[in-house]
Amino acid sequence: MALKITTRDQDGITVILCNGRIVFGEESSQLRDQVKNHLAQSKKIVLNLGGVSYIDSGGLGILVALYTSARSCGGDIKLANLTQRVGDILQITKLSTVFEVYEGEQKAIEAFA
């Protein structure tokens, strides 16, 4: 399943909803381009990963690179609605200690306050 990305703005925070797989190649490049475009406008981004069924090492690499880019320009990326599989991968790779992860999109948005 190809990655589908939809975006919306809520209270000055960009919410990016991902559905599908975040894997090395076109999918991860598409996500990188979308997030970097939004970082130029909004320094606060929530990645809603509730529809992500699978993420590979390339996808994890993109998430880390995006987080680093956001932090270096004074922004932040928070993750929301992780599926069991994605949450487990973040735990195994210890990336759950890097990212702020929230159970719901609204909680991630409120965390920016």
Question: Mind listing the pLDDT tens digit for each residue in 93-109?
Answer: 999 999 999 999 999 99
Computed over every residue of the chain, the mean pLDDT equals: 95
pLDDT at 27 over 90: no
pLDDT at 1 over 80: no
Give the sheet arrangement for strand 13-22, strand by strand.
4-10, 13-22, 44-55, 76-80, 100-102
Question: For residues 12 and 1, what is the distance between their CA atoms, to the nearest angstrom?
Answer: 31
pLDDT at 19 over 80: yes
Question: Mind listing the pLDDT tens digit for each residue in 38-91?
Answer: 998 889 999 999 999 999 999 999 999 999 999 999 999 999 999 999 999 999
Query: Distances in Å between the alpha carbon of 69 and those of 36, 50, 62, 93?
Result: 8, 23, 10, 20
Q: Which domains does the chain have, with CATH numbers?
A: 4-110 (3.30.750.24)
pLDDT at 113: 87
Tell me the mean pLDDT in the region 7-32.
94
pLDDT at 11 over 90: no
